[in-house]
Chains A and B, each alone.
Chain A
Amino acid sequence: MSVPRGALGIVVPLALLGSWQLLAGSGVYSEAQLPPPGEVVAAFGELAGRGELWHHLAISTQRVLIGFAFGAGGGLALGALVGLSRAANAALSPTIQALRAVPSLAWVPLLLLWLGIGETPKIVLVAIGAFFPVYSTVSAALAHVDPQLVEVGRAYGRSGVRLIGTVLFPAATPSILSGLRLGLAQGWLFLVAAELIASSMGLGFLLIDSQNTGRTDVMLLAIVLLAALGKLSDTLLGLAGWRLLAARR
C-alpha cells in the first residue's frame, strides 16, 4: 500500500466530478438545472476575468476572519470564565445555553434593524456563529481537567492564575484547538446566512444573485468555492494547532 493517504482523499471528489459529468450529459436534467462541470469552469473564467470573483472571495474571507476573531475571542474568554468558576457557570450557563438554541437566521432581522446593512451585521452574525462552539468546548474542557493533575498543581504551590497557566490551560489545549476549528466552520455557515439575506457582495450574494439570474453554473461555482475556502481555512488552522501540539510532544 504505497498510496499516500493524501492522494486517497482525492478519489471521492474525482468520482463525484465524474458522476456529475455523466449525469449532466445523460439528459435527465436540463442544462439550467444541472450544467456540466465544464460550464462551471467557464463561469469561473468569466467571473475571474472580469475581476468580480476576487472581490466576492476577498469580502467573504474578510468577514469570516474578522467575525471569527471576535467570536472565538469571546468564546475563549467566556468559556474560560464558565469553565473555571462554578459561580460563573451557575450564573451564566443557562442564559448562554438558551441563546445558543436560537437558530442563526433568527438573528438576521434584529441585526439588520440595529446595525443597518453595512459590514457590521454580517461580521456580528459570523461572530455569533463562531462563538458557541468555542465557548462550549473551552468551558467543558476546562471544567473537566483531570482533578488529580489539578491537585498536583495545588499541592506544588500553584493557585489562581498560575494554576490556570501551568495546569488547566495546557491540559485543555487539544480540546480548545478542536473547538476553534468547529467555530471557524460554523463561522462560514453563518456567513452564508448573512450574505444570502442582505448583501451586494460575497459568495452568499453570488448564490442569491445567480438564482435570480438563472445562472446555475455560477451557483454551483459559489458552492464549490465555499467548500474549497472552508476546507482551506480549516486545514490552515489545523496545521497551526498541530504545530503547537507538536512543539510539546
Chain B
Amino acid sequence: MSSSLPGPAGLDFSRVGKDFVVNGRGRPVLTGIDLSVAAGEVIAVLGPSGCGKSTLLRMAGGLETTGEGSLSVDGRPVRRFEPRCAVVFQEPRLMPWRTLHRNVAFGLPRGVTGEQARTEVEHWLDVVGLRDFARHRPRQLSGGMAQRAALARALARRPGVLLLDEPFAALDALTRLRMQDLLVDVQRTAGTTVLLVTHDVDEALHLADRVVLLGVTGKAATIRSVIAVPGARPRDRADPVLAELRVELLAELGVGTPTVHGRTQP
C-alpha cells in the first residue's frame, strides 16, 4: 500500500450521552460514557439488546449526532459521517447493481483512482478470500461472502477506526466462527483500531483486547465494567481462562450458568 497510509487512530468518548425523542418527549438511551480506545486496540461492546450499543457505534461513525459530551478520533471531534471511520453493518448493504470489485471500490478514499484503485481493491478482495468473485454480483453470493465483501469495502477506506455493528450476527454459527478468525487475521495485518458491537460473549472474548459491558442503571445505559481479556490473538476458543471470563460476563448479563459450580476446576 502507499506510504501515505493513515495509521490506526485512537477513539475517545467523554461523558457521552444520547436521548431519543419518542412522541415529542426525550428518552435517555445512553449516559455518561467515558472510554478511551488506543490506536490499534480492539474493543468489544457487549450488552443486552436494546441497551444502545449500536447507538454508541453510530455516534462514533457520525451516523448519529452526539447528544451530550464529546467524541473524538485522534483528538479531533467526530464529524457528521466521519471520514476517518468505516462502518460494517449487520447487513452487508452491498449495491446490488455493482460487481463485488466495484462494491469494494466504493469504499476507496476519494483521491484513489485508476491503477492504484484496482490494485487496492484486488488486495482487499484477496484478504477476505474473494479474489475469484470480483466480477460476481451481490445476489450471487452467500450471506457470509457478502459480509466479507462489506468488510473489504470498509478496509478499502483505510479507516483510522473500523466500526463493526454486530457484523456476524445474521450468519450461521460456523460461518460466524470463520468470520471471527478472518477478522483476527485482518486486524493483525492492517493493525486497525476496531470497535465491535456484539451480543455474543464468545465473540467478544475471542476478538477483543478489552470488553466494555453496557448495562442499564436507572433510566439510561452506561458502562458497567471494562474487562481486559488476557492472551494474544489468535486465541484458543477452549482456553479455560476465557471460559471463566465467559461465565463472569454472562452472569453480569443476567444469564446464570448452574453447571459451573458442580464442575471440577482444573
Contacts and interface: CB of A to CB of B under 8 A. Distances in A.
Contacts of A173: 97
Given A157-B110, A166-B106, A249-B137, A152 B93 contact: yes
B133 interface: no
Contacts of A159: 81
B63 A151 contact: yes
A79 to B, nearest CB: 20
Contacts of B97: 170-171, 173, 248
| Main SS class of interface, A | helix
A171 B138 CA distance: 14
Contact of A154 (B81, B89, B98, B106): B81
Given A156-B106, A157-B110, A148 B81 contact: no
B95 interface: yes
B91 interface: yes
A99 interface: no
Contacts of B83: 157
A167 B137 contact: no
Given A167-B95, A170-B95, A157 B81 contact: yes
Nearest to A166: B106
A249 B140 CA distance: 11
Interface string A147-161: 011011011110100
Interface in B53-102: 61, 63, 81, 83, 86-87, 89, 91, 93, 95, 97-98
B81 to A, nearest CB: 5
B160 interface: no
A171 B95 CA distance: 8
Interface in B21-73: 61, 63
B215 interface: no
Contacts, number: 39
Contact of A155 (B61, B110, B137): B61
Contact of B107 (A151, A156, A167): A156
Chain A interface: which size bin? 10 to 19
Interface string A108-124: 00000000000000000
B106 A155 contact: no
B260 to A, nearest CB: 40
Contact of B95 (A149, A155, A157): A149
A202 B106 CA distance: 51
Contacts of A248: 97-98
B203 to A, nearest CB: 23
Nearest to B108: A156
Interface in A211-249: 248-249
Nearest to B80: A154
B93 A148 contact: yes
Contacts of A157: 81, 83, 109-110
Contacts of A171: 95, 97
B91 A148 contact: yes
Contacts of B63: 151, 154-155
Contacts of B153: 156
A155 B153 CA distance: 12
B56 to A, nearest CB: 16
Scoring A149, A157, A249 by chain B CB atoms within 10 A of each residue's CB, the highest score goes to A157
Contacts of B158: none
Interface in B141-183: 153, 157
29 contacts: A148-B89, A148-B91, A149-B93, A149-B95, A151-B93, A152-B89, A152-B93, A152-B106, A154-B81, A155-B61, A155-B63, A155-B81, A155-B86, A155-B87, A156-B106, A156-B107, A156-B157, A157-B83, A157-B110, A159-B81, A167-B95, A170-B95, A170-B97, A170-B98, A171-B95, A171-B97, A173-B97, A248-B98, A249-B137
Interface of A: 148-149, 151-152, 154-157, 159, 166-167, 170-171, 173, 248-249
Given A152-B95, A156-B86, A166-B106, 14 more contacts: A148-B89, A148-B93, A149-B93, A149-B95, A152-B106, A154-B63, A155-B63, A156-B107, A156-B153, A156-B157, A157-B81, A157-B83, A170-B97, A170-B98
* 5 tightest A-B CB contacts, nearest first: A152-B93, A248-B97, A170-B97, A154-B81, A155-B87
